[in-house]
């Protein structure tokens, strides 16, 4: 769906993006993470055709964005970090403008405008002037603009920048609903908690290079030689000693009636651990793997660049 092929962008004195190669399949939510200045924005601007690459190519839905820009734009919705909207238009006029600019069939436009306005929750503001809207509402307008033509790919560059926590949560819900409609989303952010539980894949960029790219689960399992497991029980059993005696278990820390430990064996072996505890008289209340957060994964994989 999104193919970045040896994408490179050179400025007179620096290489902003250095031979980035990524393929994002349909339906993926790909989080592009990295410190400020890592090349995320340049990558996204090249991906949506705003910036010509020095070398390499971008294909969206098998169309070369730079060779057939008009055709490619039909499939692309783009939103940047800080942006303005046309303040002297009404909400519906703004969306109507972009629907026409994307050359949608005129007969479909009014219904689509209503649908998108409903999707971003701006029904009551349909006929209001944009200049009277709050920052969060304008951000919703931006999203509405980006999806008005029903693009198959959304390219979002730090979409939550400058938003308050409530607006961020709203944006997150909105993007989740778009994900559910089957859109492929490439989203960049340096605030990793924004992407938590939302992305299916990540790419870590540093100094213009793609340090690591792939599905979160695959990267986690490839990078982790152990799983982190949390167990809860009732009673006063010496769980630390019991766990410490089990094979493949290490770094056991106990906090009240809960313990966290590392397990370096196979999943089948891990499945026996609750049984072992029960057999040794520990009434197990909970047993689950502690998933690594995107932030932990990033910190593990990055070369400690400044965030």
Torsion, CA 211, CA 216, CA 221, CA 224, rounded to 10: 60
Residue 145 or 168: the one with the smaller Cβ distance to other proteins is: 145
| Integer Cα distance of 195 and 180 in angstroms | 16
- List Cβ neighbours of 262 (8 Å cut-off, separation of 6 or more): 226, 227, 228, 229, 249, 250, 251
Min CB(96)–other proteins separation in Å:
8
CB of 275 to other proteins, least distance (A): 49
- 31 lies in the binding site for other proteins (CB under 8 A): no
Give the nearer residue to other proteins in terms of CB position, either 18 or 269: 18
List own/partner pairs for 167-170 with CB under 8 A and 24 or more apart.
Answer: 167/135, 167/136, 167/139, 168/194, 170/121, 170/136, 170/140
User: Which residue carries 């932990």 as its tokens?
Assistant: 296
- Binding status of residue 36 toward other proteins by CB under 8 A: yes
Which residue among 19, 64, 93, 269 contacts other proteins (CB under 8 A)? 93
List the structure tokens of 176. 């989740």
Q: Which residues within the stretch 3-22 sit at the binding site for other proteins (CB under 8 A)?
A: 9-18
**Of 22, 30, 32, 80, which one interacts with other proteins (CB under 8 A)?**
80
**C-beta closer to other proteins: residue 95 or 246:** 95
Residues 105-124 binding other proteins (CB under 8 A) are 106
Mask 126-155, x = binds other proteins (CB under 8 A)?
-------------------x----------
278 lies in the binding site for other proteins (CB under 8 A): no
Question: CB of 231: closest distance to other proteins in angstroms?
Answer: 40
Query: For residues 268 and 279, what is the distance between their CA atoms, to the nearest angstrom?
Result: 17
Pick the binder of other proteins from 23, 52, 251, 253 (CB under 8 A).
52
- CB atoms < 10 A from the CB of 57, how many? 15
User: Among candidates 240, 279, 274, which has minimal Cα distance to 260?
Assistant: 240
Out of 22, 33, 35, 292, the residue judged to bind other proteins by CB under 8 A: 35
Residue 103 in the binding site for other proteins (CB under 8 A): yes
Is 301 a binding residue for other proteins by CB under 8 A? The answer is: no
Question: DSSP secondary-structure letter at 198?
Answer: T
Of 53, 44, 47, 49, nearest to 15 (Cα)?
53
- By CB under 8 A, the count of residues binding other proteins is 51
C-alpha distance across the termini of the chain, in Å: 30
Which residue, chain included where needed, has tokens 């629907």?
99
Interface stretch with other proteins, choices 132-140, 207-215, 275-283, 289-297 (CB under 8 A): 207-215
Place of tokens 């002297």: 88
Q: Shortest approach of other proteins to residue 155 CB, angstroms? A: 9
Positions in the binding site for other proteins (CB under 8 A) = 9-18, 35-39, 48-52, 54-55, 69-70, 73-74, 76, 78, 80, 82-86, 88-89, 93, 97-98, 100-103, 106, 145, 206-209, 305-306
């Amino acid at each position: 769906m999104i193919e970045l092929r040896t994408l490179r962008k050179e400025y007179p004195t620096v290489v902003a993006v250095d031979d980035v190669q990524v393929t994002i399949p349909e339906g993926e939510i790909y989080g592009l993470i990295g410190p400020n200045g890592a090349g995320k924005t340049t990558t996204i601007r090249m991906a949506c055709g705003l910036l010509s690459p020095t070398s390499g190519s971008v294909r969206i839905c098998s169309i070369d964005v730079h060779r057939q820009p008009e055709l490619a734009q039909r499939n692309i919705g783009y939103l940047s970090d800080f942006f303005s909207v046309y303040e002297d238009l009404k909400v519906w006029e703004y969306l109507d403008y972009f629907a026409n600019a994307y050359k949608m069939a005129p007969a479909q436009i009014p219904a689509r405008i209503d649908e998108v306005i409903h999707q971003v929750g701006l029904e009551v503001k349909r006929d209001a002037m944009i200049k009277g809207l709050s920052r969060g509402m304008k951000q919703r307008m931006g999203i509405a603009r980006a999806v008005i033509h029903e693009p198959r790919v959304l390219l979002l560059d730090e979409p939550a920048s400058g938003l308050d926590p409530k607006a961020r949560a709203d944006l997150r819900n909105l993007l989740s609903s778009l994900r559910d409609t089957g859109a492929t989303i490439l989203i960049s952010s340096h605030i990793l908690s924004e992407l938590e539980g939302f992305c299916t894949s990540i790419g870590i960029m540093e100094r213009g290079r793609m340090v690591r790219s792939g599905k979160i689960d695959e990267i986690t399992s490839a990078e982790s030689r152990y799983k982190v497991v949390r167990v809860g029980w009732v009673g006063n059993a010496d769980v630390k000693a019991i766990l410490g005696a089990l094979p493949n278990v290490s770094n056991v820390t106990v906090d009240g009636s809960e313990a966290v430990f590392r397990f370096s064996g196979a999943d089948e072996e891990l499945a026996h651990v609750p049984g072992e505890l029960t057999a040794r008289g520990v009434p197990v209340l909970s047993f689950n793997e502690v998933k690594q957060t995107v932030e932990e994964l990033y910190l593990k994989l990055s070369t400690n660049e400044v965030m």
